[in-house]
Structure 1
């Protein structure tokens, strides 16, 4: 067998039953996870050993290259952050400075960034937060939020990314809100320091959370009427003065994926 480069090549040998015994929602999602090195073929209980052996060694090289690229990108980013004067940057970032470290509150938790760009926290440090946090240190102009909310597509560089943002961020959260509304919003409030607010938007629930100190986001949800609900994510008009659109999308996609996993565990 030649090198496997597409999830479709893996999907062809799967049962296509979407049984979720691999802890993924669909067989296609499982195939994609296998290609990215996040899952192993052995985690599908219906595959025979002979099929698994056919794929052995054909996927790992691709996964390794991806991991190496990510590691190189992270090391480059950390080096750029290490060149920044933390003491003079703390106020700009809405952070605090102590013993040579920056302390930045993200999603209600404190993250400590040392002089080499390494990040530690009492909670789990994950890539979808690490990269935006380091970019925030680099990019943030210290612009305080204006208090005016706009959709992602109206950010200076948001329009081109809107289709993917809607697909990976807003739609998954809307689906969770429709089936696990209390779970979603209670978690946002009690785990991530979100706050319920009143807005001019016609919605049943609106709450604000701060993925980063000067990058607030507003989640607005309207309960189903005639089987149609609505969930939108809004950002402050000055958001891209402090963080680029790609990093914002990474943050929101990470949040949505995390809540999908929580909802999956709750059935």
Structure 2
């Protein structure tokens, strides 16, 4: 058995029954805590001792997501030096001036130099820095198709879709439920645009975390006995323009920003 270094690999070995006997609501949530070192794999009551023994030695405890991104940053900054900025403008949907490249990220200008240093009028954090540099280096430059797909369709794995729903869509829905003006604020703060209602939603808006990686957020308000619903879609070309893992990381950064907006608007 190869080493297990992410929650999805652990999840594949669990019964997926969501029995809650481990103290967690779902097997996926349990797997997440196992990788973080907050739960032992053997705390799942359905596993045989032989499997537990074998798997325990293969689990690599995960660093905090922010620390993981910091480790990736330095090699990316070195690699940026090999990119011809002037020849990359069309591929990236960027502009070039002097010796620097400027890219719109959530409606804000981020300027990058040949050493991978990033300057912007707004706060620059690791959640944006790493995906942005990776985008500059690896983006295929494929044109947008206009076809919206789920995260699972981008990743080609159902298990990734469950993880994305658990870690991004559900928390974002909870924020939207508590703070109804959130989606409207996204339009003003992050350069989003409201579009024709899609997928039977009450509100549909498009954000551009990166020029060629747009996301469609569809939200349906709660109604009588029906709870609210929020789904996120990506242009079908997104996986060619940014690695799926980094699309997920970028969404994690967005969620952090949205939580900060909510906390500023909702006082105890």
TM-score by length of 1: 0.72
Q: Summarize deviations over 1:6-40 as a string: whole Å, max 9, x none.
A: xxxxxxxxxxxxxxxxxxxxxxxxxx9xx9xxxxx
Residues 72/162 of structure 1: CA separation in 2 closer, same or farther (3 Å cut): same
Q: Summarize deviations over 1:143-196 as a string: whole Å, max 9, x none.
A: 1110011111111445342222111210111011112111x1122100101111
Matches within 5 A, 1:1-267: 67=67, 70-157=69-156, 159-182=158-181, 184-225=182-223, 226-265=225-264, 266-267=266-267
| Deviation (angstroms), 1:241 | 1.1
Residues 256/70 of structure 1: CA separation in 2 closer, same or farther (3 Å cut): closer
SS at match of 1:224: coil
| Deviation (angstroms), 1:263 | 1.7
| Deviation (angstroms), 1:243 | 0.5
Cα distance in 2 between the residues matched to 1:70 and 1:252: 14
> Does the 8 Å CA contact 1:221/1:231 hold for their aligned counterparts?
yes
| Deviation (angstroms), 1:199 | 4.0
Cα distance in 2 between the residues matched to 1:135 and 1:63: 20
Q: Summarize deviations over 1:113-156 as a string: whole Å, max 9, x none.
A: 00111111011001111111011111111111100111111114
SS at match of 2:228: strand
Give the unaligned 5+ runs of structure 1: 1-31, 36-61
| Deviation (angstroms), 1:212 | 0.2
SS at match of 1:110: strand
SS at match of 2:253: helix
Aligned to 2:41: none
Number of residues paired by the alignment?
Answer: 205
SS at match of 1:84: coil
TM-score by length of 2: 0.71
Give the stretch that moved more between structures: 158-167 or 109-118: 158-167
> Does the 8 Å CA contact 1:158/1:245 hold for their aligned counterparts?
no
> Does the 8 Å CA contact 2:197/2:203 hold for their aligned counterparts?
no
Residues 240/158 of structure 1: CA separation in 2 closer, same or farther (3 Å cut): farther
Cα distance in 2 between the residues matched to 1:175 and 1:89: 39
Q: Summarize deviations over 1:191-216 as a string: whole Å, max 9, x none.
A: 10111101441000000010000111
> Does the 8 Å CA contact 2:81/2:114 hold for their aligned counterparts?
yes
Cα distance in 2 between the residues matched to 1:238 and 1:227: 33
SS at match of 1:103: strand
Cα distance in 1 between the residues matched to 2:232 and 2:63: 32
